[in-house]
C-alpha cells in the first residue's frame, strides 16, 4: 500500500522528520509492505452492492498487526483514574497512576479507574490503524492519542486511514481520510491539543 495524502496537525509530521525520522520511515515501510490486493476477499451482502468483492477490513488490520509486530512496535495500555471535577482533572491527568491515586485519596475523592489502549507504540510515537468502524477514529484522535500525550507516553500520534478512493471499495462503515481530516479542521487549529499525523493509504 502507499500513502497518497497526509495532514500534519500541530506540526506532528515536522516533529517526526526532525526528531524521529527513523520511526517515521518505519511507519511508511510498514504501510508499503501490506499488499491490500491479497485481502480483497469480502463478498458484499449489502443490498446495493450484493456480490461485489471488497477489501476485508479485519484481514487488513491483522496484516498491519503482523507487519508492525515484525518491526517491534508494541500495543501499550495506559491505566489512569478519572474525575468529573475540572480542577481535579487538571491536577491528575499529567501524573503517573500511583501519584493520581495519592492525590485523589488526599482530597477524599473516589477512585475510579479507566484505561486506554493503543495499537502500536515505539519510542514515544503511537500508531493507530483504522480500517473498521468510522466512530473509532474520533475516539482515537480526540481521546486516545490525547490521553497518551497528556500522560507523557507519546510525543506524536499517527492515524492511518483508507483514502476515499479505497473506501469506495470497502463495505459501509469504515472511515476515510478526507472526512476525518475535515472533522479535525472544523474544530480549529489547536483542537485536539496533541501533535498528529493523519495518513491516507490505498493500494
Q: With contact defined as beta carbons under 8 Å apart, do 184 and 141 qualify? A: yes
Query: Residue 135 — pLDDT band, cuts 50, 70, 90?
Result: confident
Q: In which region does residue 108 sit, left (phi positive, over 0), alpha (psi from -120 to 50) or beta (all else)? A: left
Rounded Cα–Cα distance for residues 101 and 36 (Å): 45
Whether the CA torsion 54, 130, 25, 64 is positive or negative: it is negative
Q: With contact defined as beta carbons under 8 Å apart, do 198 and 184 qualify? A: yes
pLDDT at residue 46 tops 90: no
Rounded Cα–Cα distance for residues 86 and 168 (Å): 42
Give per-residue pLDDT as tens, 85-101.
999 999 998 899 999 99
Rounded Cα–Cα distance for residues 103 and 56 (Å): 46
How far, in Å, are 1, 82, 89, 92, 164 from residue 86 at the CA level? 43, 10, 5, 10, 38
Supply the range of the domain harboring residue 126: 2-74+120-202
pLDDT at residue 44 tops 90: no
Q: Is there a domain that residue 84 lies in?
A: no
Q: Is there a domain that residue 101 lies in?
A: no
Q: Is there a domain that residue 92 lies in?
A: no
Q: Is there a domain that residue 49 lies in?
A: yes
Q: Is there a domain that residue 128 lies in?
A: yes
Cβ count within 10 A of residue 94: 12
CA 93 to chain centre: 20
Rounded Cα–Cα distance for residues 194 and 185 (Å): 13
In the prediction, which pLDDT does 174 show? 77
Rounded Cα–Cα distance for residues 49 and 86 (Å): 48
Q: Is there a domain that residue 54 lies in?
A: yes
CATH classification of the domain holding 57? 3.40.91.20
Q: Is there a domain that residue 87 lies in?
A: no
Buried b (16+ CB within 10 A) or exposed e, 128-153: bbbbbebeebeebbbebbbbbbbbee
In the prediction, which pLDDT does 100 show? 94
Q: Is there a domain that residue 82 lies in?
A: no
Q: In which region does residue 188 sit, left (phi positive, over 0), alpha (psi from -120 to 50) or beta (all else)? A: left
Query: Residue 129 — pLDDT band, cuts 50, 70, 90?
Result: very high
Please give the tally of structural domains in the chain.
1
The grid cell for 152 is 507523557
Q: Output Rg (C-alpha) for the chain, integer angstroms.
A: 18
Amino acid at each position: 500500500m502507499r500513502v497518497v495524502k497526509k495532514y500534519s496537525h500541530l506540526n506532528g509530521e515536522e516533529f517526526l522528520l526532525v526528531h524521529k525520522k527513523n520511526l517515521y520511515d518505519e511507519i511508511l515501510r510498514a504501510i508499503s509492505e501490506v499488499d491490500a490486493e491479497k485481502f480483497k476477499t469480502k463478498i458484499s451482502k449489502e443490498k446495493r452492492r450484493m456480490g461485489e468483492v471488497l477489501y476485508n477490513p479485519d484481514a487488513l488490520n491483522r496484516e498491519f498487526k503482523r507487519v508492525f509486530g515484525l518491526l517491534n512496535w508494541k500495543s501499550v495500555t495506559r491505566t489512569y483514574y478519572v474525575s468529573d471535577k475540572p480542577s481535579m482533572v487538571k491536577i491528575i491527568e499529567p501524573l503517573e497512576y500511583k501519584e493520581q491515586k495519592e492525590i485523589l485519596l488526599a482530597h477524599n475523592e473516589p477512585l475510579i479507574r479507566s484505561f486506554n489502549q493503543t495499537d502500536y507504540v515505539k519510542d514515544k510515537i503511537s500508531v493507530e490503524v483504522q480500517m473498521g468502524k468510522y466512530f473509532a477514529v474520533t475516539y482515537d484522535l480526540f481521546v486516545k492519542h490525547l490521553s497518551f500525550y497528556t500522560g507523557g507516553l507519546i510525543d506524536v500520534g499517527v492515524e492511518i486511514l483508507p483514502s476515499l478512493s479505497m473506501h469506495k471499495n470497502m463495505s459501509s462503515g469504515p472511515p476515510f481520510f478526507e472526512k476525518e481530516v475535515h472533522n479535525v479542521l472544523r474544530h480549529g487549529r489547536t483542537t485536539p491539543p496533541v501533535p498528529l499525523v493523519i495518513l491516507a493509504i490505498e493500494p
